[in-house]
Structure 1
């Protein structure tokens, strides 16, 4: 009689053990990719390859070596356009879009970006877009690149949400301080270097 009373308890214990083993196996199956160095390394390599490919496609974008272009629809003195047969680069001063050291767009930035979005849509509909973030050489290089990235992301977000740009057509490149268009030894030069560029592939 004592044997019959202990049997259900033993069965329940075995059932609990089996369930725990199954749960552990499921968890191991789903988490092994995250903890597997080879999987992580492969994912990082793929990401790096994609980024390198995109960067190579935009290697010809260099405002310093492109002549100024005049677009009749752009009457705003704060927006300057440089270009060639392949690219058009809309350049806007940092002070127009952002407060010093900040990555949140100013209220007045909407009108500037709207002008660029309309011009780009009118002239180059459906083409690829690259947002380039530039800073001056003041401060820490790594911090400057982080700020450039945050600002480029802010402009990208605006273009996709308010400028009717397909997210699949737009990418960013946080250049930081590495491509100045003027000297960093004067305030006037540093102001020129702090800018956001919206590059458009013409074809």
Structure 2
């Protein structure tokens, strides 16, 4: 499976997982979720926990960058851009895609664990389809084909969400309109637009006498 079919299967699996989590009171706490999920004592201080999260984010971005520019990453891009040609030269596209799926799931799982420890609790709401859509919006805002895009998109989305929600009761409509305008203005995302602007400035300087 790939493309739209893979996306639909992933969303269906997420919905099934959410339903099981919501109804399995004995194991997941049901609609109340799990409470009292706090980190170790040495991370009780907010500054210490923030430093740990920041270090793990930096390590994660560095690790993903290493993967992106490794033979594995180049093979993934070949399979994305031209699956038939990649298969013809001996690249096992399906196996690489599953490996990338595992890597992405591992990083997402680490982020989820950090999120749960930061709040001290976790509920089925965190597994809803809406949260999955939020993640996609963050990527679109930041830029799909840039490593910094998801980080920029997450920061922008969170800031917009907090700012708009505090100032109006119709924050969902306002937030949706702002995101729509940003996506239309920056088709390559905010990070992609910044990269494009940097390339344009470099070209202008190169042409200057």
Shared fold (TM-score, shorter chain, > 0.5): no
Which of the pair has the greater relative contact order for Cα pairs under 8 Å at 6+ separation?
1
Q: TM-score, normalised by structure 1?
A: 0.25
Greater strand content: 1
- Which structure has the larger Rg over C-alpha atoms? 1
| TM-score, length of structure 2 as denominator length | 0.25
Decide which structure has greater helix share. Answer: 2
